[in-house]
């Protein structure tokens, strides 16, 4: 056997890689933290993390349901009455007031209130 040839180097790399894969498979099977390719550890998610994620997911689902309800209302306004409401508002703006009482109370924006 040629100890310095490329076949020997490839065999060493293959054996090391297979050993690393088997090691991580056994660790994952028994619930230990996994080891990455640089020697660092990846911790297994705990029950507390799972509960926290479930709670966050539930909050996001509730928020999404609220947003869907709002979107339905907005779609209804736009498709059913949105344009007619705007036309009615513009028609009311264009209509002149018949008497002084219909004009409302004038607002004095020039005067500043002293508190």
Alpha carbon distance 17, 107 (integer Å): 82
Q: In the chain, how many domains are there?
A: 2
Query: Is residue 55 located within the same domain as residue 82?
Result: yes
Q: CB-based contacts of 103: which residues, under 8 Å, 6+ apart?
A: 97
Same domain assignment for residues 50 and 90:
yes
Give the total residue count for the chain: 115
pLDDT in tens, 25-65: 888 888 777 766 666 666 666 667 788 889 999 999 999 99
Which domain covers residue 30, as residue numbers?
Answer: 7-44
Q: Are 23 and 29 in contact (CB under 8 A)?
A: no
Is residue 57 located within the same domain as residue 87? yes
Q: Is 34 helix (H, G, I), strand (E, B) or coil?
A: strand
Domain membership flag for residue 76: yes
State whether 17 and 56 are in the same domain: no
This prediction's pTM? 0.34
15 within domain boundaries: yes
The separation between CA 8 and the C-alpha centre of its own chain, rounded to angstroms, equals 51
């Amino acid at each position: 056997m040629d100890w310095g040839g490329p076949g020997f180097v490839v065999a060493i790399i293959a054996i090391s890689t297979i050993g690393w894969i088997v090691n991580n498979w056994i660790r994952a099977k028994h619930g230990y933290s996994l080891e990455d390719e640089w020697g660092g550890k990846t911790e297994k998610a705990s029950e507390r993390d799972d509960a926290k994620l479930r709670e966050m997911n539930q909050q996001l689902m509730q928020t999404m349901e609220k947003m869907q309800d709002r979107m339905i209302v907005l779609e209804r306004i736009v498709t059913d009455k949105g344009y007619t409401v705007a036309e009615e508002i513009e028609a009311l703006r264009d209509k002149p007031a018949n008497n002084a009482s219909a004009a409302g109370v004038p607002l004095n924006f020039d005067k500043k209130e002293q508190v």
